[in-house]
Amino acid sequence: MKTYVGITAQHDKQGTITPVIMHWPDGRQWPVDRVLDVRMAPSITGGGQGMRYVCRIANKEVNLFHDDLDGKWFVEH
């Protein structure tokens, strides 16, 4: 299953995107504590593919995806 989320991200001049804050659909938000890994990967539980950011958010490891086709962000759970 996947949930679409809003992301506040930092973009550097080399084109690297780093998620900084995750905004849940109900209005709650959490800072991204750390990005552990970034690579192209399929979403196993939610379908689709994109850049997968393995992040530490609220002391949990989260797979955060940036969908290549529509530019949306989602988490799988």
Domain boundaries, the chain: 2-76
pLDDT of residue 27: 97
Instruction: Give me the residues of the chain with pLDDT under 50, please.
Output: none
The pLDDT tens digits for 39-59 are 999 888 767 778 999 999 999
30 near 21, Cβ under 8 Å?
yes
pLDDT of residue 61: 97
pLDDT of residue 30: 98
Distance of alpha carbon 32 from alpha carbon 54, whole angstroms: 10
52 near 39, Cβ under 8 Å?
yes
pLDDT of residue 76: 86
